[in-house]
């Protein structure tokens, strides 16, 4: 999204109380304890091992560190990662 359109979209989201993740193409991340993370609006996986997974978003990336990490579900927009999650880091623009 270009900068001007992005500003307008952010204002509309705020004024009209719209879901920001859908309008602004932001990720929706849901965790269940430290054993499961579900991610919507991803743009693909950069790295996948049993100890580290890197997921791309429109605005950056997310790194998940842990043990026995396994992708249990993946499709064009969503994925579910299970295992013992020790740490999550975000990088990229805001």
16 located within any domain: no
What is the rounded radius of gyration, in angstroms, for the C-alpha atoms of the chain?
15
Q: Which residues of the chain have pLDDT under 50?
A: 1
> The whole model's pTM is what?
0.76
Phi and psi angles of residue 29, each rounded to the nearest 5 degrees, phi first = -120, 125
Domain that holds residue 34: 26-92
Number of domains in the chain: 1
Q: What would the pLDDT profile of 23-46 be if each residue is shown by its tens digit?
A: 557 889 999 999 999 999 999 999
79 located within any domain: yes
pLDDT at res. 89: 96
50 located within any domain: yes
């Amino acid at each position: 999204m270009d900068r001007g359109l992005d500003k307008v979209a952010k204002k509309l989201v705020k004024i009209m109380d719209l879901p920001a993740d859908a309008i602004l193409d932001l990720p929706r991340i849901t965790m269940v304890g430290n054993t499961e993370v579900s991610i919507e609006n991803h743009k693909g996986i950069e790295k996948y091992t049993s100890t580290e997974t890197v997921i791309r978003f429109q605005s950056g990336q997310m790194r998940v560190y842990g043990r026995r990490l396994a992708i249990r579900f993946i499709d064009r927009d969503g994925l579910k990662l299970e295992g013992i999650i020790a740490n999550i880091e975000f990088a990229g623009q805001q």
